[in-house]
Amino acid sequence: MVEGGAFDTLWATARDMDATLRVAAKHAASLAKKQVHAEPYSRGAMFQKMARREIAVFRGVPILVKSHRSATMQDALVHALSHRFPPRETSRVQVGPSHALKRLPVREIMRRWLGGRAIVGVTDLHIRGTRVEEVIDTRALSDFNTLIRGSDHLSEQEMMTLVIASKGNVTDSHSDDPDGTNHCFFGKKLWLAWDAFEGMAAGLEDVERQHVSGEQAAFDIRTFVGLRSSRWFLVSTGDTLYLPGNLTHKVLTLESYLGVGSFHIGLPGSLDTFTRWLHRGPLWSMDDRSKANAGLVDEAAIVTLRIADRVRSGSSKIRERWGFDALRESYEVWKKSINRATREEVLQHRSFRKLVEMAQSA
């Protein structure tokens, strides 16, 4: 728990990085109550959080890094990133205090990041199927993920990526849409998260869902504190974040950061995810004028239903691996949180209706 002088210091640092995070004394107590605390990991606890649509920060998730000879984990990671990408491999990166977007060679990004003097931020450096994946074992982030059990195009939505950020980097308020994971190998970030639609109704902007006219998405801490859904938390060395896909988030890098993240559909979170996609549309289709992503929601629902149908008659070990036994709780949460009109609308989708029926009887 962050309290007392540490609380004041944390938010003073945040204010220096982002002026919208100036916390008035009268809001401090309410803000403190919004903190999500890290807890020990278990697979059952992870699936329970998914079913309840709650943010989770876990300690002890088994993300393994293969060290070379006597190298430390940090040395092994830095070596892999500096040498296992081809010299001409590039990535999109935020650069400098203005967070300008550029494309730079991965090796140049690593050079700047290791130097510690330039502010850089990378969130979409894909490692699935690359030589870097030979070093990092990410199964704990993906072995329950139905997104990667379909076509190649559907699997691409997982986006297993490295997350690299310098101290001082700020990622503006945005949504990712599928549920997400983020494991921190080393470093520290401050996250602020809230339901995207509750936030937009209250005047907080989301750069993925809205046209933002200013340099930064509209945000103020008083409104944030007043949202029913708002939470904040720290993700530090060894922590793993599981984040529901309905949440907009603003992220500040407090200490030089290296991690790995991805998006997923887990069975216990699938009812909420598909309801949002069927009712509002997925983010991947918002600017898809060529309709390249048309049909992906249908495919994802069919794949998820097929897996759930297979798992329900499997062994207790198989059910535990996929979180099937948390489906019943996810159904109860879904029924209470989704209004009747929306439920009736989304249940017109045949595969989703069957998935809901399966969850109801799980």
Query: Domain boundary residue among 215, 249, 264?
Result: 264
- The domain total for the chain is 2
Residues 277, 246, single domain; the answer is no
Domain that residue 275 falls in = 267-360
Q: By the 8 A CB rule, do 160 and 130 touch?
A: no
Alpha helices in the chain (DSSP H): 4-17, 25-32, 43-52, 73-83, 106-115, 139-142, 152-155, 196-201, 221-226, 270-280, 296-312, 316-322, 327-337, 340-346, 350-360
Type of residue at 12: A
User: Span 214-238, mean pLDDT?
Assistant: 96
Residues 188, 323, single domain; the answer is no
User: What does the pLDDT read at residue 162?
Assistant: 84
Residues 199, 71, single domain; the answer is yes
Residue-wise pLDDT for 77-96, tens only, equals 777 777 777 778 787 777 77
Query: Taking the CA atoms of the chain, what radius of gyration do you get in angstroms?
Result: 20
Helix/strand/coil for 2: coil
Query: Domain boundary residue among 209, 229, 264?
Result: 264
Query: Domain boundary residue among 264, 292, 312?
Result: 264
User: What does the pLDDT read at residue 273?
Assistant: 98
User: What does the pLDDT read at residue 98?
Assistant: 67
- Tokens for 272? 């909420």
- C-alpha to C-alpha distance for 251 and 193, rounded to whole angstroms: 9
Q: Is the pLDDT at 123 greater than 70, yes or no?
A: no
Q: By the 8 A CB rule, do 97 and 168 touch?
A: yes
Residue-wise pLDDT for 161-198, tens only, equals 888 888 888 999 999 989 999 999 999 999 999 999 99
List beta partners, residue 235: 189
Q: Which of 82-96, 171-185, 318-332, 343-357 has the lowest mean pLDDT?
A: 82-96
Q: How many Cα atoms within 13 Å fall on the side-chain side of residue 78?
A: 14
Q: Is the pLDDT at 153 greater than 60, yes or no?
A: yes
Hey, what's the torsion of the CAs at 200, 288, 351, 174, to 10 degrees?
A: -30
* Overall pTM > 0.85: yes
